[in-house]
Amino acid sequence: MEKGIQKGVEKAKEEVIQKAIQKGLDDETIAELTGFSQKEIAIIRKKINA
């Protein structure tokens, strides 16, 4: 059950990252706000631009 909750939290954070990218925030700022690494953010950014 906790894995399901954690997965939901991660998905929500990913959605926030996508919105932040669309608003033009840089990866460093997004990392500070979400706790995701800049590498993880770069991966999400690539998904959006694909």
Domain-wise residue ranges, the chain = 2-49
Between helix 2-22 and helix 27-34 the angle, nearest 10°, is: 150
For residues 28 and 4, the model is more confident at: 28
What pLDDT, in 10s, does the model give residues 5-49?
A: 888 888 888 899 999 999 999 999 999 988 899 999 999 999 888
CA neighbor of 27 nearest in space, from 14, 15, 19, 37: 37
- pTM for the whole thing? 0.75
pLDDT of amino acid 43 = 92
Predicted confidence (pLDDT) at residue 50 exceeds the cutoff of 80 = no
DSSP letter at 25? -
